[in-house]
Structure 1
Amino acid sequence: MKKVIFSASLILLAHTNANACADHDADYDYFNLFTQSIIKDKNYLPFLLTMSNGFHDHEHYDIRNDSIEDWQKYFGKTLSYADTQLLVEKMSMDELNAFKKGGSENSVLKKLGSYNKFHEGIDYLIEAKYLEPFMSIKYVESPNAWYQTPAEGSKDVTQLDYDETIAALTSLYHAARNPEIKLRYGYQLVRFNHYTQNFESAKDAFREFVQPLKLRTAPYYMALDQLAGAQRKVNMKEEANWNFFQVFMNSKSRKESAFTSMKWTDSASFKHLLEKAENPAEKNMAYFLLGYDDFNNPIPMMEKMYDIDPTSEILKVLAARSINELERRYLPGYFIGDDNDVASNSSDKSSENDNEVATGEISFWQKIKNFFSGLFRSNKSETPKKETSLSDKELLNNPHRIPFYTKDVKNSQEDFLNNLDKVTFKISEKSSDEFWKITQAYLAFLKSDYKKSSEILNNVKTSNPEYITEITRMKMLNDIVSQPRIDAEYENYLMTNYSALIKDMTANNDTPDYYGSQDNSTKRFIRDILANRYFIQGEKGKSYLMSNTLSALQYNPDLELVKSVEAFYNKSDKTVLEKELIAKNIDDVGNVDAFFNLIYGDYEMRQTNFEKAKEFYAKAKNFSGIPRFDYSYTEGEPMQTARRSYGNSYDGFSHISSLIFGHNVWESFNSEESQSMKAENFEGFPFIKNEMNKLQLAEAVIQLQKVGAGKNVAASQANQLIGNLMYNTSIMGYYREVFVMDVDNQMGPKFHFYDQEKPNFQYYYKDFNWHSYVENNNLDLAINFYQKALDKSQDDEQKARILFQMASAEQGKFYLYAEKQTLKIDYDDPKYEEKQDAFAKKLNNAQNEKFRTHMANLAKNYGNTQTSKSLQEGCSYYDYFLKTH
Structure 2
Amino acid sequence: MRKYFLSLAAVSLFYTYSQACAWSDPDYEYFNLFTQSIIKDKSYLPFLHSYSTRFYADFKPSEIPDENIDAWKRFFNNQFSYAETDYLVNKMSINDLNALKKGNTTNPLLIKAGPGFYRKYSEAVDYLIEAKYLEPYMRIKYVANPNAFFYSGPQNTLNATSLDYQKTISALTSLYNTARNPEIKQRYGYQLVRFNHYTRNYDAAVHAFKTYVQPIQLKGAPYIMALDQLAGAQRGLGQDSEANWNFFQVFKDSRSRKESAFVSMKLSDTAAFNNMLKRAQTDEDKNMAYFLLGYDEFTNPIPVMEKMYAINPDSEILKVMAVRSINELERSYLPIYYYDNSNTITQTDSADNPAKASTSTTSVTEKKELSFWQKVVRFFKNLFSSPKKGDSDTATEEDDEKLLNNPNRIPLFTKNNYYYDEQKKDFLEDLEKFTDKVKEKTADEYWQIADAYLKFLKKDYKASTEILQSIKTSNPEYKEQIQRMKLLNDIVSQPRIDADYEDHLMKNYAAYFKDQPDQKKDSTSNADYYIPSPSTKDFLKDVLANRYFLQGEDAKSFLISNKLSDLQYGPDLNLVKNVEAFYRKPQKTEFEQQIIAENLDDVGNIDAFFALIYGDHAMKLGDFANAKSYYVKAQNFSGIPRKDWSDQANTIVPMKYATGAYNGFSNIPDLVFGHNVWVSYTSSPAESMEKEDYSAFPFIKPSMNKLELADALLRLKQAGNSKGAKAAKANQLIGNLLYNTSILGYYRQLFVMDLDNTNGGKYDFQNQKRKITYQYYYKNFPSLSYLEPDNFDLSIGYYNKALSLSTDREQKTRILFQMASAEQGKYYQYEANSNVNIDYSDPKWSEKQDAHQNQLDDIKNQRYRTYFTVLRNQYADTQTAQKLMGSCSYLDYFMK
TM-score, length-scaled by structure 1: 0.90
CA distance in 2, matches of 1:797, 1:466: 83
Pairing 1:322-471 to 2, within 5 Å after superposition = 322-344=325-347, 382=363, 388-404=396-412, 415-471=426-482
**Comparing 562-571 and 752-761, the one that deviates more:** 752-761
CA distance in 1, matches of 2:615, 2:692: 26
In structure 2, the partner of 1:761 is 774
1:296 is displaced (CA, Å) by 5.2
User: Does residue 233 of structure 2 align to residue 237 of structure 1?
Assistant: no
CA distance in 2, matches of 1:45, 1:75: 28
1:804 is displaced (CA, Å) by 0.5
**Comparing 839-848 and 653-662, the one that deviates more:** 839-848
User: Does residue 895 of structure 2 align to residue 875 of structure 1?
Assistant: no
| Change beyond 3 A, Cα 1:149–1:449 | closer
In structure 1, the partner of 2:763 is 751
CA distance in 2, matches of 1:9, 1:209: 65
Match of 1:33, SS?
Answer: coil
Residue from 248, 255, 258 that aligns with 1:255:
258
User: Does residue 741 of structure 2 align to residue 729 of structure 1?
Assistant: yes
| Change beyond 3 A, Cα 1:178–1:58 | farther
CA distance in 2, matches of 1:22, 1:476: 36
1:732 is displaced (CA, Å) by 0.7
Could you list the per-position Cα deviations for residues 564-611 of structure 1 after superposition, in whole angstroms to 9, with x for gaps in the alignment?
111111111111111110111112322111110010000011011111
**Comparing 427-436 and 273-282, the one that deviates more:** 273-282
1:509 is displaced (CA, Å) by 4.9
CA distance in 2, matches of 1:608, 1:711: 21
Pairing 1:8-407 to 2, within 5 Å after superposition = 8-9=4-5, 11=7, 14-15=10-11, 17-18=13-14, 19-60=19-60, 62-113=63-114, 114-147=117-150, 151=154, 154-295=157-298, 297-344=300-347, 382=363, 388-404=396-412
1:399 is displaced (CA, Å) by 2.4
1:388 is displaced (CA, Å) by 3.1
User: Does residue 689 of structure 2 align to residue 681 of structure 1?
Assistant: no
Could you list the per-position Cα deviations for residues 656-705 of structure 1 after superposition, in whole angstroms to 9, with x for gaps in the alignment?
12221111111222233233222223533233222221112111211222
The question of whether the paired residues in 1 share the 8 Å contact of 2:640 and 2:664 is answered with: yes
Could you list the per-position Cα deviations for residues 381-426 of structure 1 after superposition, in whole angstroms to 9, with x for gaps in the alignment?
65998753332223222222212359xxxxxx96511110111111
Match of 1:421, SS?
Answer: helix
In structure 2, the partner of 1:363 is none
The question of whether the paired residues in 1 share the 8 Å contact of 2:267 and 2:273 is answered with: yes
In structure 1, the partner of 2:728 is 716
Match of 2:683, SS?
Answer: coil
1:483 is displaced (CA, Å) by 0.6
User: Does residue 542 of structure 2 align to residue 528 of structure 1?
Assistant: yes
CA distance in 1, matches of 2:129, 2:269: 44
CA distance in 2, matches of 1:13, 1:378: 25
**Comparing 288-297 and 854-863, the one that deviates more:** 288-297
1:435 is displaced (CA, Å) by 0.5
1:641 is displaced (CA, Å) by 1.8
Residue from 794, 815, 822 that aligns with 1:809:
822
CA distance in 2, matches of 1:633, 1:848: 55
Whichever residue aligns with residue 22 of structure 1, its letter is: A
**Comparing 397-406 and 222-231, the one that deviates more:** 397-406
| Change beyond 3 A, Cα 1:441–1:734 | same
**Comparing 145-154 and 249-258, the one that deviates more:** 145-154
1:172 is displaced (CA, Å) by 0.9
CA distance in 1, matches of 2:530, 2:53: 25
Match of 2:144, SS?
Answer: coil
Whichever residue aligns with residue 53 of structure 2, its letter is: N
The question of whether the paired residues in 2 share the 8 Å contact of 1:8 and 1:631 is answered with: no
Could you list the per-position Cα deviations for residues 422-473 of structure 1 after superposition, in whole angstroms to 9, with x for gaps in the alignment?
1111100000011001111111011111111111111111111111111111
Match of 1:8, SS?
Answer: coil
In structure 1, the partner of 2:795 is 782
Could you list the per-position Cα deviations for residues 102-159 of structure 1 after superposition, in whole angstroms to 9, with x for gaps in the alignment?
1111111223333111111111111111111111111222224455556477211111
1:260 is displaced (CA, Å) by 0.7
| Change beyond 3 A, Cα 1:602–1:525 | same
1:9 is displaced (CA, Å) by 3.8
Could you list the per-position Cα deviations for residues 164-217 of structure 1 after superposition, in whole angstroms to 9, with x for gaps in the alignment?
211111111111111111111111111111111111111111111111102110
Residue from 650, 653, 663 that aligns with 2:675:
663
The question of whether the paired residues in 2 share the 8 Å contact of 1:814 and 1:851 is answered with: yes
In structure 2, the partner of 1:800 is 813
| Change beyond 3 A, Cα 1:382–1:127 | same
Whichever residue aligns with residue 208 of structure 2, its letter is: A
**Comparing 215-224 and 534-543, the one that deviates more:** 534-543
Q: Which runs of 5+ in 2 are unaligned?
A: 351-357, 368-393, 415-423
CA distance in 1, matches of 2:889, 2:256: 73
Match of 2:775, SS?
Answer: coil
1:20 is displaced (CA, Å) by 5.0
Match of 1:755, SS?
Answer: helix
User: Does residue 753 of structure 2 align to residue 741 of structure 1?
Assistant: yes
CA distance in 1, matches of 2:99, 2:438: 57
In structure 2, the partner of 1:563 is 577
CA distance in 1, matches of 2:596, 2:155: 60
| Change beyond 3 A, Cα 1:869–1:766 | same
Match of 1:213, SS?
Answer: coil
1:481 is displaced (CA, Å) by 0.8
CA distance in 1, matches of 2:313, 2:118: 49
Could you list the per-position Cα deviations for residues 299-324 of structure 1 after superposition, in whole angstroms to 9, with x for gaps in the alignment?
11211111111111111000000000
Could you list the per-position Cα deviations for residues 350-398 of structure 1 after superposition, in whole angstroms to 9, with x for gaps in the alignment?
xxxxxxxxxxxxxxxxxxxxxxxxxxx9996659987533322232222
CA distance in 2, matches of 1:178, 1:477: 57
Whichever residue aligns with residue 440 of structure 1, its letter is: D
1:612 is displaced (CA, Å) by 1.0
- Name the % identity: 56
**Comparing 248-257 and 15-24, the one that deviates more:** 15-24
Residue from 627, 630, 639 that aligns with 2:651:
639
| Change beyond 3 A, Cα 1:12–1:849 | farther
CA distance in 1, matches of 2:286, 2:308: 8
CA distance in 1, matches of 2:555, 2:520: 21
The question of whether the paired residues in 2 share the 8 Å contact of 1:735 and 1:745 is answered with: yes
CA distance in 1, matches of 2:530, 2:651: 17
Residue from 621, 628, 639 that aligns with 2:635:
621
| Change beyond 3 A, Cα 1:824–1:859 | same
Q: CA RMSD in A?
A: 2.6
Match of 1:754, SS?
Answer: helix
Match of 1:630, SS?
Answer: strand
CA distance in 2, matches of 1:493, 1:521: 21
The question of whether the paired residues in 2 share the 8 Å contact of 1:514 and 1:552 is answered with: no
| Change beyond 3 A, Cα 1:493–1:14 | closer
**Total equivalences in the alignment:** 841
Pairing 1:543-558 to 2, within 5 Å after superposition = 543-558=557-572
